[in-house]
Amino acid sequence: MNAPHILVLQNSPAAPAGIVGDALVDAGARLDTRLVLDGEALPAALDGYDGILVLGGPMGAHDDDRHPALADQAALIARAAAAGMPLLGICLGGQLMARAAGAPVGRAETPEIGFTRLELLPEAADDPLFASLGPPPAIMELHFDTFATPDGATRLLASADCANQAFRWGHAQYGLQFHPEVDAGIVTTWLEKFIGTPSPVIAGAVSAVPAQIERHMAEAEAYGRALARRWLDLALQPA
């Protein structure tokens, strides 16, 4: 059997596939990572891929003027979804999935920064991905924008400040707002970008994260690895 081939769309050098990528490789997958916003081309065709992982970044899902490749990614995602290809979008990646599905993406009423408790909604009770994972631990969030659940998709997770934390679009097609892929090093790199922020609210949230890493990172990493393995299992199953 050939190794599963996963296309990875990376939107920032500081936002790699992390432990999700590691778990996919450990499970036997081959990753084809494209640094899209650094000018690496998207594949002309999706033949030969078993799924697409779309990662996060600091830009908005509609920042086409500064990042024209975002529109190209949204078009690729829409084409992949129509063909029934498995998709896993994380933060900006989930927002790009929502954009591709025609759902609104815009500024969140309350930004989320730090490890956050997520609620499994009743619709997740029999979801092929989340039902098998059990209650999620506190997981890292860092977003100022958010998505609405697309028409025809199923909302699966929420948090106290963000109603849309995950949706299922189709078979093995999931958009996430939270960050299952991070490790302590990735999070620490992100926090450095907020040094000197004039916002006391953001500064306070950022200052709390190092202690949260100590309390929650091990559980969050285990959850992220399990999520990645389960998504790959679903990606290789017929719809």
**Which residues are known catalytic residues?**
91, 179, 181
For residue 191, the tally of other CB atoms under 10 A from its CB is 17
Residue type, 170: G
In sequence order, the 6+-apart residues with CB closer than 8 A to the CB of 40 are: 34
Helix, strand, coil distribution of the chain in percent, nearest 5: 35, 25, 40
Question: Any idea which residue has 């992949």 for tokens?
Answer: 80
Whether the CB-CB separation of 91 and 142 falls below 8 Å is answered with yes
Whether the CB-CB separation of 73 and 95 falls below 8 Å is answered with no
- Residue 7, strand partner residues: 32, 52
As a whole number of angstroms, the distance between CA 68 and CA 52 comes to: 20
The dihedrals phi and psi of 73, each to the nearest 5 degrees, come to -65, -45
As a whole number of angstroms, the distance between CA 202 and CA 26 comes to: 36
As a whole number of angstroms, the distance between CA 35 and CA 40 comes to: 5
